[in-house]
Amino acid sequence: MQLCNQNLNQLPATVQRPHYERSKVAPAIVHLGVGAFHRAHQAMYTEAVLASGDLAWGIVGAGIVSSNMKAALQPQDGLYTLATMGPAGNQLQVIGAILEVLGGEDDDGQLLDIMRAPSTRIVSLTVTEKGYYLDPASGKLQLQAPAIQADLATPTTPRTILGLIVQALKHRKANNIAPFTVLSCDNLANNGKRAKAAVLAYAAKLDGDLAHWIEANATFPCTMVDRITPATTDAERSYLAALGLDDAWPVVTEEFVQWVIEDDFTLGRPDWTIGGAFFSDEIETWEAMKLRCLNGAHSTLAYMGQLCGQETVDAAMATPLIAKLLDALWAEVLEVLHAPKGVDANAYVDSLKQRFRNPSLKHRTQQIAMDGSQKLPVRLLGTLRDRIARGLRSPALTTAVAAWMHYVVKTAATPEATLNDPMSAELLALVRGETVDARIVDRLLSVEKIFGTDLPRDTLFRAEVLAGFAWLADEPGVSTAPAVRP
Ligand code: CS2
């Protein structure tokens, strides 16, 4: 039975479903980057608001790069199943918060019209680190990026999120419509500030007055988002089909979920506390704790898992060599971490161990390994800088950096192979043709967009990365590339 409005009453009894009248829900949020994470997180929180009777906050989702989500969800009237897999068993909930899904270039005109409309009060984002076109190390807008150049050349038909937001805000300014709130839900330190910096830098290139107006009137609250949500596989589709539920794109996630939001909205916001979110002035510390403890460990598990032949996070966690490295890494992170008030960071790390060991999730190390150039700076290098400033050595964190290097080198050893990373070509060109020794480490360390200029110059840091790199190359359980062919 296909999931759609008409069939909602015929779902298996164990499946939770919307009991509010979906036809009465008003769209007020546009979400750019409607993937698995948004559907397991913000849309679920919004579902709780709708279920409480406040129908003012429906979501229009848009896929920026592709129309795949539209193709899957539009025949289902935007409905999808959220499968929560945990020790207490699996729970299924059909979410109705996403009213419509747009996708790809063909829908850009319609998307812009909706973003311009006064009814749109929030534009939220999960577009990953690279979607902001910011230099990972310096945080500056990558003005030379082809997509940014293309949008600046034809600003009325934008394709990037920056182009879309600025074009919509331009219309709102001209028509005396207050700006929407731009709500970043990506894993970036100071994600709201980063989104603001990117939008303002882009706007300034087009129209200085508009940039000033945005700066003075729009808000970009920071958020800390958390829920481990692996890419959906056919296994989940078949699992649901066996229960009599045909869902083209369900979402599988863990029980744990957290959302901490800075309360700074131009045109109101849903009471997401109904779903368990909370508002805080301490976002920076929440974000730092999550990025450094969870995501930093995740990236380490990903590269180490890839080098040790472990395909999933739970399998990597069960590998003694990796578990030991992670414990050392967490100790280094905790030593320089400022936890939010009232939070026991040690207990937080303990809870992460449980979450990473979840055998039902099958979170692929390869998935987390993508976009290393964008992730390393926010997840690992911030802690490293803090430790360097305090004169502390960091053998575990630098080994994690070295694991990423080996992962790049190993990928380069296969002709034609590419990294799933916006800097793939640049990184592979740096290492292809080199013998695997200290020179390769120096070449990768010289990538300023990732390591800045301070880290490569720090002789102790360099020596520790080299030591980690050599240790991994010699360790029997770790498979690194012996040589890189041109
Ligand atoms: C992961 C995150 O893919 C990745 O890089 O580290 O998506 C992680 O699962 C989430 O941030 C958890 O909240």
Find the 311 Cα to ligand 1 centroid distance in Å: 16
The model's confidence at residue 483, banded by pLDDT at 50, 70 and 90, is low
Predicted pLDDT of residue 302: 98
Distance CA 325, CA 400 (A): 8
pLDDT at 183: 98
> What pLDDT score was predicted for residue 486?
40
Please check whether residue 76 is in contact with residue 3, taking contact to mean a CB–CB distance below 8 angstroms: yes
Which atom from ligand 1 is nearest to the alpha carbon of 371? 5
Q: Whose CA is nearest to atom 3 of ligand 1?
A: 368
Region 4-13: mean pLDDT is 94
Q: 485 pLDDT exceeds 80?
A: no
Q: Write down the mean pLDDT value for the chain.
A: 96
* Residue 15 pLDDT > 80: yes
Q: Is the pLDDT of residue 434 over 80?
A: no
Question: Which residue, 414, 407, 403, 391, is CA-closest to 460?
Answer: 391
State the amino acid at position 333 in one-letter form: V
Residue 126 reports pLDDT greater than 70: yes
Q: Whose CA is nearest to atom 8 of ligand 1?
A: 228
Is the pLDDT at 67 greater than 60, yes or no? yes
Can you tell me the mean pLDDT for 321-347?
98
394-417 pLDDT per residue, tens = 999 999 999 999 999 999 988 899
Q: Please, which pLDDT band fits residue 116 given cuts at 50, 70 and 90?
A: very high
Mean pLDDT to the nearest integer, 163-192:
97
Average pLDDT over residues 211-238: 97
For residue 438, what pLDDT band results from cuts at 50, 70 and 90? confident
Closest residue CA from atom 1 of ligand 1 = 368
Pocket-forming residues, ligand 1, beta carbon under 6 Å = 187, 226-228, 294-295, 298, 367-368
Mean pLDDT of the region 308-326:
98
Query: What is the length of the chain?
Result: 486
Residue 28 has pLDDT above 80, yes or no: yes
Structure confidence by residue, pLDDT tens digits, 135-168: 999 999 999 999 999 999 999 999 999 999 999 9
Q: What is the pTM of this model?
A: 0.96
